[in-house]
């Protein structure tokens, strides 16, 4: 999701982000005379390229275009639903009308489809609003606080093989907290049978009940309101019941329909749910807010050839009266939980299962033809669940956990309590077809969803302002889960590449926002920055105190709701008891500076003349400064400073040696080595900040890398490369210095520094590709890359470590991208061999993305058509996605245009969830970029109808590599007030100001 609260993973990149690095530390490395001469040549080459880089790449902010006006809210047309073909066993009755007050809309049967009056997509995030103020705000989608739900009975019959309606019945027991004369619930895409709505006292369920004077429907706020003739009094409990008709939609939200095709061509339908953040109301009327927890008794109707699943185990299955072949599955009552975590699936899937500690049933579900691909998830899932039980010192509270791979799933995965759902590519793995990265991806996503069973499910944010607690903690803790089940992968050491360095660019823009802000949907900042500052916190508090504080927090708020200040109190208590935090300092004091303001600091270290002390200052890091910006906030943070020196290097001490307060302009650090020895700050890059040094210290670091790079820890080598190149990009460091840092790379053997280098080199390549400087820059890159390419060779070996496979994949991908003849020859030859014998694909799964893409790019229609045929025939999700991306690499414009149309055409063979994957692949293609941009503008409304929120992400994808004033003008026209006047058009995350425009092409 451009990130929503549902799990979103970046499935659109050409090459997978690195995860697993094995760190080694060697001593006594010597450079031969030949290598020294070679490094000298690279050094001179870097200097020659620098002048061209300074001219072409140094920041030159484009002129500011006219500001875009705030777009109108989205509007919707009413939902048209056909009548059901078969009755639900809890019978529905005919509708009737009631006298209605003048201010209340009254319908016997009311159709609703609502657009909430929340922040428009792409608009600037609003400031944090006090919860009570938000409740009383005119037009707020928040429910009144007069009632709270206690228990639901939900009875649903989805007509999967009929007309896709849902026949429903709901009872909700409520407690009155404040005197009220109405009952307000959330509702959307539902037809209510108003004459069946009943309200009775909970202690008298068979009594006459209370009269309902009128029914009101607020489509904008998605409210159903029952107006009463009398006032309900605090402390009393009531049960509201009603019959209704819903819809199994095709938008992958709410209770929706999905399908898959068998080998013989027959189509099978299924029904699944995605309720986060506000779509439980599309399945049944409810109090659809995270802070309003209740218990749920679920009854699902299914045909006898199908299976149903929900959060709890089945309690009883009974035949439906008067409906042959139909059964009711009645489930055990859930623990108290939020509506967005409720889940249902009705399908013909099969499962693999095991039992954890003789008490927790663990099952993995998939299509019968794909179930063998679920063995790895079945292997790692139970071990991860056990790990988290021990990590949190808190038992898993449910008797079972199901994980299911859904063919159509908008989110990457979803943590529904006891019934986690996944895209197929994120749960299924075939070692014969899928790459090592796909295996790691499955492990990571399973770890993420299982961590949510505690952080998010057991303890839930009171409101979406704290959704970052859910996603930040799950994103950090997934690494501990993977490290537990696959320790040889060294995944904890990869955090800096996947979360910190990947986040730094987006968070260095003026258009960033605080982690804690008023939003229903989590974005990259909640996931990546959230997990980064949590990792930082675990290091400065110490692992033992950190875990103790989490355990106490979970115990205190289990089955309840909380906010970040509640967590800060428990962590402070644990840290004070452990002595890892001064008694006069709280976690809240420190962490508020990281969660309530956007961005992050660059720490400037300026050493004294003798080198033994340094003045350390902080300033917000911005890729482009705008002296005319309206933001006058003085950004300062509590910064945990860690450091070591060349005289006694120790990269293991990651607790803060010195705290820089947010009130201090600078601090002095003493006891540093003499001036001819380097210092390095931010050990293992545990702090969420960049580091800049004076020229002398930069030169000392460069000389160390050239003479013996292994004297510096692997993660810090990656940090030095990333900091240097981004500091140069922002104009804070000469490109001559930044490129000198990279001249040692021909002797670098570890993956992490290479990955950090390539992420930054990608930016320079994109900026220079259409300029006269590109030839010299390409030659320089080949000079440093060819030694790596030659060392890894063009074939996987069975004895390779995981990181060797990653290193080879990265080296080959870049060699082909830079048109290295041997690489292109190997790619096209391998692909041709497969085409000659389609039944035997000897291409290594780890090299498929490179081989497929470049062979199709070098070929023509024949190569493209072969890939399409293989895509249609493939039964493994990872293979399908690899082929989808590769087909976007063709250089034939007419094929790309055809491919774009197919991606947004129903029944073309491309699933709706994969439309963005295709668009991104084409937008990333030099030939296809303009085609994608024009297609987006010409088909905006059709695309929005097809996949809702995706167009916002498509704009960002299409303009990511734009870099000219002409591109800026085109983009300005796209989001201009006149163009936005169309019904569904709205502003985007690439807004038209000089600093935020750079987010389109500097990411």
Domain hosting 568: range is 447-595
pLDDT in tens, 214-271: 999 999 999 999 999 999 999 999 999 999 999 999 999 999 999 998 888 899 999 9
83 in a domain, yes or no?
A: yes
Q: Is 48 helix (H, G, I), strand (E, B) or coil?
A: helix
Mean pLDDT to the nearest integer, 950-967: 68
Active site residue 449: yes
CB 875 within 8 A of CB 371: no
- pLDDT surpasses 90 at 553: yes
CB 186 within 8 A of CB 222: yes
- pLDDT surpasses 80 at 998: no
Please, is 785 exposed, middle or buried when counting C-beta atoms within 10 Å of its C-beta (0-12, 13-18, 19+)? Answer: buried
979 in a domain, yes or no?
A: no
CB 417 within 8 A of CB 337: yes
Pick from 253, 126, 274: which is nearest to 948 by CA?
Answer: 253
The CATH number given to whatever domain includes residue 496 is 1.10.390.10
pLDDT category of residue 989 using cuts at 50, 70 and 90: very low
pLDDT in tens, 150-199: 999 999 999 999 999 999 999 999 999 999 999 999 999 999 999 999 99
- pLDDT surpasses 60 at 78: no
Q: What is the pLDDT of residue 59?
A: 46
- pLDDT surpasses 80 at 375: yes
- pLDDT surpasses 50 at 925: yes
CB 858 within 8 A of CB 894: no
pLDDT in tens, 266-318: 999 999 999 999 999 999 999 999 999 999 999 999 999 999 999 999 999 99
Mean pLDDT to the nearest integer, 330-339: 98
Same domain for 101 and 47: no
Same domain for 262 and 165: yes
Tokens for 946, please give them.
């097809």
Pick from 463, 470, 599: which is nearest to 526 by CA?
Answer: 470
Same domain for 75 and 59: no
Q: Which of 574, 595, 616 is the last residue of a domain?
A: 595
856 in a domain, yes or no?
A: no
pLDDT category of residue 511 using cuts at 50, 70 and 90: confident
Q: Which of 113-127, 296-310, 408-422, 735-749 has the lowest mean pLDDT?
A: 113-127
Average pLDDT, the chain: 84
| Of 371 and 49, more confident | 371
Kindly state the percentage of the chain with pLDDT values over 70: 81
CB 950 within 8 A of CB 252: no
pLDDT category of residue 46 using cuts at 50, 70 and 90: low
Residue labelled with tokens 């000089």: 994
808 in a domain, yes or no?
A: yes
217 in a domain, yes or no?
A: yes
Q: Which helix (H) or strand (E) holds 269?
A: strand 267-274
Q: What is the pLDDT of residue 127?
A: 33
Alpha carbon 292 to its chain centroid, in Å, reads 25
Q: Which of 565, 595, 625 is the last residue of a domain?
A: 595
Q: What is the pLDDT of residue 208?
A: 84
390 in a domain, yes or no?
A: no
The CATH number given to whatever domain includes residue 773 is 1.25.50.20
- pLDDT surpasses 50 at 110: no
Q: What is the pLDDT of residue 474?
A: 96
Q: Is 835 helix (H, G, I), strand (E, B) or coil?
A: helix
Q: At what angle do helices 950-958 and 940-947 cross, to 10 degrees?
A: 130
Mean pLDDT to the nearest integer, 75-103: 31
Q: How many domains does the chain have?
A: 4
Q: What is the pLDDT of residue 942?
A: 78
Mean pLDDT to the nearest integer, 858-863: 94
pLDDT category of residue 952 using cuts at 50, 70 and 90: low
| Of 820 and 102, more confident | 820
Mean pLDDT to the nearest integer, 626-643: 88
Please state, as a whole number, how many other Cβ atoms lie within 10 Å of the Cβ of residue 729.
Answer: 23
Q: What is the pLDDT of residue 104?
A: 33
| Residue 404 to residue 407: CA distance in whole angstroms | 10
Same domain for 126 and 51: no
Same domain for 277 and 264: yes
pLDDT in tens, 376-413: 999 999 999 999 999 999 999 999 999 999 998 888 89
- pLDDT surpasses 50 at 91: no
Pick from 847, 833, 117, 824: which is nearest to 434 by CA?
Answer: 847
Please state, as a whole number, how many other Cβ atoms lie within 10 Å of the Cβ of residue 496.
Answer: 26
- pLDDT surpasses 90 at 710: yes
Q: What is the pLDDT of residue 897?
A: 94
102 in a domain, yes or no?
A: yes
Cis amide bond preceding 277, omega within 30: yes
- pLDDT surpasses 70 at 822: yes
- pLDDT surpasses 50 at 117: no
- pLDDT surpasses 50 at 12: no
Same domain for 641 and 651: yes
Q: Which of 818, 836, 856 is the last residue of a domain?
A: 818
Same domain for 79 and 64: no
Mean pLDDT to the nearest integer, 70-99: 31
19 in a domain, yes or no?
A: no
| Of 964 and 343, more confident | 343
- Report CA dihedral (699, 700, 704, 709) to the nearest 10 degrees: -70
pLDDT in tens, 651-668: 999 999 999 999 998 999
Q: What is the pLDDT of residue 19?
A: 34
Distances (CA, A) of 126 to 465, 481, 503, 561, 655: 11, 35, 21, 23, 35
Same domain for 145 and 239: yes
| Residue 529 to residue 509: CA distance in whole angstroms | 14
Considering 263-272, 693-702, 983-992, the range whose residues carry the highest mean pLDDT is 693-702
pLDDT category of residue 650 using cuts at 50, 70 and 90: very high
pLDDT in tens, 745-776: 999 999 999 999 999 999 999 889 889 999 99
Q: Which one of the listed residues 7, 173, 289, 449 is annotated catalytic?
A: 449
The b/e string for 475-486 (b: 16+ C-beta within 10 A; e otherwise) is: bbbbbbbbbbbb
Q: What is the pLDDT of residue 567?
A: 97
Tokens for 868, please give them.
């399409």
Same domain for 220 and 100: yes
pTM for this structure? 0.83
Considering 17-31, 572-586, 917-931, 939-953, the range whose residues carry the highest mean pLDDT is 572-586
Q: What is the pLDDT of residue 975?
A: 53
Same domain for 516 and 548: yes
Tokens for 166, please give them.
């849902």
Same domain for 586 and 491: yes
Same domain for 259 and 151: yes
Q: What is the pLDDT of residue 964?
A: 64
CB 205 within 8 A of CB 262: no
- pLDDT surpasses 50 at 370: yes
Q: What is the pLDDT of residue 36?
A: 52
Q: Which of 42-51, 365-374, 640-649, 860-869 has the lowest mean pLDDT?
A: 42-51
């Amino acid at each position: 999701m451009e990130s929503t609260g549902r799990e979103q993973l970046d499935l659109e990149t050409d090459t997978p982000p690195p995860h697993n690095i094995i760190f080694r530390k060697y001593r006594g490395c010597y450079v031969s005379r030949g290598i020294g001469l070679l490094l000298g040549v690279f050094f001179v080459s870097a200097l020659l390229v620098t002048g061209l880089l300074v001219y072409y790449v140094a920041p030159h902010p484009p002129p500011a275009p006219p500001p875009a006006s705030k777009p109108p809210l989205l509007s919707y047309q009413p939902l048209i639903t056909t009548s059901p073909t078969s009755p639900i066993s809890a019978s529905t009755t005919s509708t009737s009308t009631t006298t209605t007050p003048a201010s209340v809309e009254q319908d016997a049967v009311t159709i609703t489809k609502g657009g909430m009056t929340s922040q428009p997509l792409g608009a600037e995030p609003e400031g944090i609003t006090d919860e009570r103020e938000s409740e009383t705000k005119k037009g707020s989608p928040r429910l009144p606080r007069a009632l709270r739900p206690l228990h639901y009975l939900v009875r649903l019959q989805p007509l999967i093989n009929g007309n896709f309606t849902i026949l429903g019945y709901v009872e909700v027991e409520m407690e009155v907290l404040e005197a009220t004369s109405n009952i307000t619930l959330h509702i959307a895409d539902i037809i209510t049978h108003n004459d069946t709505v009943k309200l009775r006292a909970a202690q008298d369920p068979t009594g006459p009940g209370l009269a309902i004077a009128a029914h009101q429907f607020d489509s904008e706020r998605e409210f159903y309101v029952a107006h009463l003739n009398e006032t309900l009094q605090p402390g009393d409990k009531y049960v509201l019941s009603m019959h209704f008709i819903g819809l199994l939609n095709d938008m992958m939200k709410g209770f929706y329909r999905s399908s898959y095709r068998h080998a013989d061509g027959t189509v099978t339908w299924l029904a699944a749910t995605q309720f986060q953040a506000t779509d439980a109301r599309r399945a049944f009327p409810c109090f659809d807010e995270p802070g309003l927890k209740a218990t749920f008794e679920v009854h699902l109707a299914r045909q006898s050839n199908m299976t149903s699943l929900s959060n709890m185990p089945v309690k009883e299955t009974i035949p439906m009266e008067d409906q042959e072949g139909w059964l009711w599955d009645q489930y055990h009552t859930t623990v108290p939980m939020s509506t967005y975590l409720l889940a249902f699936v009705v399908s013909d899937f099969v499962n693999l299962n095991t039992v954890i500690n003789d008490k927790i049933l663990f099952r993995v579900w998939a299509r019968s033809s794909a179930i063998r691909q679920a063995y790895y998830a079945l292997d790692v899932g139970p071990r991860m669940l056990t790990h988290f039980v021990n990590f949190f010192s808190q038992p898993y509270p449910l008797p079972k956990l199901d994980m299911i791979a859904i063919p159509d799933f908008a989110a990457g995965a979803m943590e529904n309590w006891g019934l986690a759902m996944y895209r197929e590519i994120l749960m299924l793995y075939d070692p014969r077809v899928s790459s090592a990265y796909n295996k790691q991806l499955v492990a990571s996503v399973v770890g993420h969803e299982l961590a949510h069973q505690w952080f998010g499910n057991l303890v839930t944010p009171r409101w979406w302002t704290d959704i970052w607690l859910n996603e930040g903690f799950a994103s950090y803790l997934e690494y501990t889960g993977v490290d537990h089940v696959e320790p040889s992968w060294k995944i904890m050491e990869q955090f800096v590449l996947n979360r910190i360095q990947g986040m730094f660019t987006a968070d260095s823009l003026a258009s960033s926002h605080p982690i804690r802000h008023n939003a229903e949907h989590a974005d990259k900042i909640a996931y990546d920055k959230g997990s980064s500052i949590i990792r930082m916190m675990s290091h400065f508090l110490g692992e033992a105190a950190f875990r103790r504080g989490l355990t106490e927090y979970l115990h205190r708020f289990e089955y309840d709701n909380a906010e970040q200040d509640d967590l800060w109190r428990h962590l402070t208590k644990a840290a004070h008891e452990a002595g890892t935090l001064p008694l006069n300092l709280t976690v809240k004091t420190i962490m508020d500076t990281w969660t309530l303001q956007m961005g992050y600091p660059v720490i400037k270290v300026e050493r004294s003349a003798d080198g033994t002390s340094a003045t350390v200052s902080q300033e917000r890091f911005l890729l482009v400064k705008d002296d005319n910006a309206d933001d006058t906030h003085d950004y300062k943070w509590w910064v945990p400073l860690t450091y070591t020196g060349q005289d006694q290097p120790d990269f293991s001490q990651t607790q803060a040696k010195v705290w820089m307060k947010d009130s201090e302009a600078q601090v002095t650090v003493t006891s540093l080595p003499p001036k001819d020895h380097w210092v390095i700050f931010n050990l293992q890059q545990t702090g969420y900040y960049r580091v800049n040094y004076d020229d002398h210290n930069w030169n000392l670091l460069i000389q160390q890398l050239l003479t013996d790079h292994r004297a510096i820890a692997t993660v810090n080598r990656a940090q030095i490369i990333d900091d240097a190149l981004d500091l140069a990009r922002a104009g804070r460091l000469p490109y001559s210095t930044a490129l000198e840092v990279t001249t040692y790379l021909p002797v670098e053997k570890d993956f992490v520094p290479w990955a950090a280098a390539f992420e930054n080199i990608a930016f320079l390549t994109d900026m220079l590709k259409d300029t006269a400087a590109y030839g010299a820059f390409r030659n320089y890159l080949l000079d440093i890359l060819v030694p790596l390419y030659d060392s890894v060779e063009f074939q996987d070996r069975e004895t390779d470590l995981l990181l060797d496979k990653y290193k080879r994949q990265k080296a080959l991908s870049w060699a082909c991208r830079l048109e290295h003849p041997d690489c292109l020859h190997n790619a096209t030859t391998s692909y041709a061999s497969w085409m000659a014998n389609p039944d035997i694909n000897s291409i290594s799964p780890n090299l498929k993305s490179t081989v497929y893409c470049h062979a199709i790019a070098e070929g023509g229609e024949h190569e493209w058509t072969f890939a399409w045929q293989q895509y249609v025939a493939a039964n493994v999700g990872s293979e399908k996605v690899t082929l989808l991306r590769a087909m976007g690499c063709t250089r034939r414009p007419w094929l790309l245009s055809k491919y774009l149309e197919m991606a947004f055409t129903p029944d073309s063979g491309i699933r709706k969830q994969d439309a963005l994957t295709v668009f991104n692949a084409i937008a990333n293609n030099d030939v296809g970029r303009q085609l994608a941009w024009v297609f987006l503008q010409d088909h905006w409304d059709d695309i929005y109808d097809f996949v809702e929120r995706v167009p916002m992400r498509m704009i960002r994808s299409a303009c990511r590599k734009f870099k000219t004033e002409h591109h800026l003008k085109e983009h300005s026209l796209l989001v201009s007030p006149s163009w936005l006047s169309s019904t569904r058009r709205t502003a985007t995350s690439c807004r038209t100001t000089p600093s935020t425009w750079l987010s389109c092409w500097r990411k």
